[in-house]
Amino acid sequence: MHDEKLEPPPEIMVKGLSPLPDRLAKGDVIETWLYDEHKVPQKVFRSSGALYTLRRSGAIEDCHVVAAEMWARDYETGVLGARDPEAGKSGAKSDIEYAMLSRAAAVSRCQSVQRNLGEISQRFLQAMMIDGLSVNQMSKVMRKEHRKVSGAIELLLEQLVELYDTLPGQIMR
């Protein structure tokens, strides 16, 4: 487990497909923009059935969902090169300086999560929030019992909330 990366099954990561309207209505699909190898922005959709299933079951709370979504946005912005969703909210076109500062802050927060919670926590977050794996899929990949994976995610999200609470600024407040 320590050396392997949690890879999604090939059928999970189908690029270019849009979710069905009923799936969008559920609220568990997020739209984001990533740049391809030619620096052209491409619309992609992110879903985390594991996160929202745990929330609906009562295993985690809203603050855990918010922390996981914040981490995913930071990872997409800082590591994968997505546009910061906050940049265009004022209606004006974002400037390059703001985009660079935003990306640097996102990378810093991702590094803080990895440094404080560890590489395995980072892989769990990536599998759940970026690759869109369900708890069942993670259980199969890791060859661990469903309840152990679910418990590990619950603990990870609790630690993530605590970590974001200690970071400077108004992140979780």
60-104 per-position pLDDT tens digit: 999 998 999 899 889 988 888 776 655 555 555 557 777 788 889
Cβ 75 vs Cβ 85: under 8 Å: no
State the pairing for strand pair 29-35/41-47. antiparallel
Burial group, residue 67, by CB count within 10 angstroms (0-12, 13-18, 19+):
buried
- On whether the pTM is more than 0.85, the answer is no
Nearest-angstrom CA–CA distance, 114 and 54: 23
Higher pLDDT, residue 16 or 21: 21
